[in-house]
Amino acid sequence: MVVGDFAIELDTVVIGSGPGGYVAAIRAAQMGQKVTIVEKGNIGGVCLNVGCIPSKALISAGHHYQDAMHSETFGVTAENVVLDFAKTQEWKDNKVVKTLTKGVEGLLKKNKVEILRGEAYFNDEHTMRVMGETAAQTYSFNNAIIATGSRPIEIKGFKFGKRVIDSTGGLALSEVPKKLVVVGGGYIGSELAGAYANLGAEVTILEGSPSIMPTFEKDMIKFVTNNFAKKGVTIETSAMAKEAVETEDGVTVKYEVNGTEKSIDADYVMVTVGRRPNTDELGLEQAGVELNDRGLVTVDEQGRTSVKNIFAIGDIVPGAALAHKASYEAKVAAEAISGKKVAVDYKAMPAVAFTDPELAVVGLTLAEAKEKGLDVKASKFPLAGNGRALSLNATEGFVRLVTTKEDGVLVGAQIAGVSASDVIAEIGLAIEAGMVAEDIALTIHAHPSLAETVMDASELALGLPIHM
């Protein structure tokens, strides 16, 4: 190998080290490939550094703060509860984020994955240029997996700056705002709105559609909106954000609701209206990789693009922008390169919102199942009938199973309530395995546990409920 004007030869190269990229690199290495990963930023990508993980850390901190102030129900009263937000941020950054990112870097090295720092740009289907801070180098490769993720969308009138911030900026604030406006009430906006409301901020959500979190069902969203109301969070739906005007110590947000112009003053406005795939500065056209009209990479069931030796996964391909989806697709792509007979199957893809309470779904809703021509029914068990939920003083919510009427096959589930993000896993496994309601009903669940709600819902589906 010669460094300079000649290309250095690589086997499999992975661009991006987020939950898609690093998983693809490790699995490819496990399959016997010699792997190189290219990363222009921090190992771990958006999810570990400025997304999934730090946001859940702030959400957790907010819960602890609220518990410290409001645990009278349990006979626990604390005086002079103080939030040291600088310490909160230090814990989030150093104990949570850095621990994970260092761990991922260690896993890459353990699996003998070479790490190249810089930006990758395709010259053609078998060569790319990696541009570092001080030098650039051309590489040839046999196979490539693109896992470059996405970035926040900036909307007209809301240019990101000191007081107009995206979700990354929202996670890095040095203070809890007295007043915070969140533009966009999807799961990211609602999660961070809830986190800062719990930490003491006065929060207003501006959502363009008739409801926040419109991808979830109405009876699930109701629990979240009720919780927001208790915390004094203002929700303006069907609201069109017009402009943000920064001042020396704040920002004025102008918006319109049903033809009426309104404005609100705040310390910060956080824009969370969606994310854009990072496909525009990779030289994909030079490699012949096809994109759709949304800038997403067109792929087959193995993640293979229009160029047979180049694969794409995660936020840059069609489908939900979920970290676990990227990790799942990563394994499929890496194994496909090794000649394994693999293909993606999204029938049991969970989605979770870490709101108060948590919302989690997997598989089909009742309406979606009927649209597919399935003869189904829904069985809904309330958390109020669960002993563990009662002992946690967290009885709001339910578990709903969607099963076929004829044979009770599980095709979907929706959960609203405490630890929904964990409880949904059992149902995902059941759907993936093609189980019926009786399989879950006959599975002994520990008592008292929140998981018993799944058993109770399955018994309800069989027409033999014990606790209803």
Residues 177-227 pLDDT 10s: 999 999 999 999 999 999 999 999 999 999 999 999 999 999 999 999 999
Quick check: is 419 in a domain? yes
Mean pLDDT of 286-314: 97
- Together in a domain, 289 and 251: no
- Together in a domain, 139 and 242: no
pLDDT tens, residue by residue, 221-263: 999 999 999 999 999 999 999 999 998 899 999 999 999 999 9
Mean pLDDT of 374-399: 98
Mean pLDDT of 300-311: 98
Taking 60 as the threshold, does the pLDDT of residue 280 lie above it? yes
Q: Name the helix (H) or strand (E) containing 115.
A: strand 114-117
pLDDT tens, residue by residue, 103-141: 999 999 999 999 999 999 999 999 999 999 889 999 999
Determine the pLDDT at residue 2. Answer: 38
The structural domain count of the chain equals 3
Range of the domain at 115: 8-151+276-337
- Together in a domain, 135 and 18: yes
A 10 A CB-CB count for 422 gives: 14
- Copy the structure tokens of residue 138: 């051309």
- Reduced to 3 states, what is the DSSP secondary structure of residue 46? helix
CATH number of the domain encompassing residue 385: 3.30.390.30
* Whole-angstrom distance, CA of residue 455 vs CA of residue 446: 10
Mean pLDDT of 89-108: 98
- Together in a domain, 31 and 128: yes
- Reduced to 3 states, what is the DSSP secondary structure of residue 428? helix
Determine the pLDDT at residue 248. Answer: 84
Taking 90 as the threshold, does the pLDDT of residue 6 lie above it? no
Determine the pLDDT at residue 444. Answer: 98
* Whole-angstrom distance, CA of residue 169 vs CA of residue 281: 23
- Together in a domain, 239 and 300: no
Single residue among 273, 302, 327 that ends a domain in this structure:
273
Determine the pLDDT at residue 3. Answer: 47
126 classed as catalytic: no
Quick check: is 467 in a domain? no
C-alpha distances in angstroms, 27 versus 101, 111, 240?
Answer: 18, 9, 45
- Together in a domain, 58 and 93: yes
Quick check: is 49 in a domain? yes
Phi, psi of 372 (to 5 degrees): -85, 5
Query: Which is the catalytic residue, given 64, 324, 445, 447?
Result: 447
CATH number of the domain encompassing residue 333: 3.50.50.60
Residues 12, 337 contacting (CB under 8 angstroms): yes
Quick check: is 158 in a domain? no
Q: Which residues pair with 204 in a beta bridge?
A: 181, 234
Quick check: is 255 in a domain? yes
Confidence of residue 53 (pLDDT cuts 50, 70, 90): very high
- Reduced to 3 states, what is the DSSP secondary structure of residue 30? helix
* Whole-angstrom distance, CA of residue 37 vs CA of residue 145: 9
Left (φ > 0), alpha (ψ -120 to 50) or beta: where does 258 sit?
left
* Whole-angstrom distance, CA of residue 355 vs CA of residue 188: 9
- Together in a domain, 424 and 442: yes
The CA-based diameter of the chain, rounded to the nearest angstrom, is 74
Determine the pLDDT at residue 371. Answer: 98
Quick check: is 468 in a domain? no
- Together in a domain, 195 and 257: yes
Prior bond to 210 cis, omega within 30? no
Mean pLDDT of 409-417: 98
- Together in a domain, 255 and 205: yes
Q: Which residues pair with 311 in a beta bridge?
A: 145, 304
Confidence of residue 5 (pLDDT cuts 50, 70, 90): low
Mean pLDDT of 316-326: 97
Write down the pTM of the prediction.
0.96
Single residue among 273, 290, 307 that ends a domain in this structure:
273
Single residue among 273, 288, 306 that ends a domain in this structure:
273
- Together in a domain, 147 and 53: yes
Quick check: is 223 in a domain? yes
- Together in a domain, 307 and 451: no
Mean pLDDT of 341-364: 97
- Together in a domain, 32 and 113: yes
**Could you tell me what percent of the chain has a pLDDT over 90?**
97
Taking 70 as the threshold, does the pLDDT of residue 1 lie above it? no
* Whole-angstrom distance, CA of residue 203 vs CA of residue 234: 6
Quick check: is 156 in a domain? no
Phi, psi of 370 (to 5 degrees): -65, -35
Would you say how long the chain is, in residues? 468
Dihedral sign for Cα 295, 326, 150, 107, please: negative
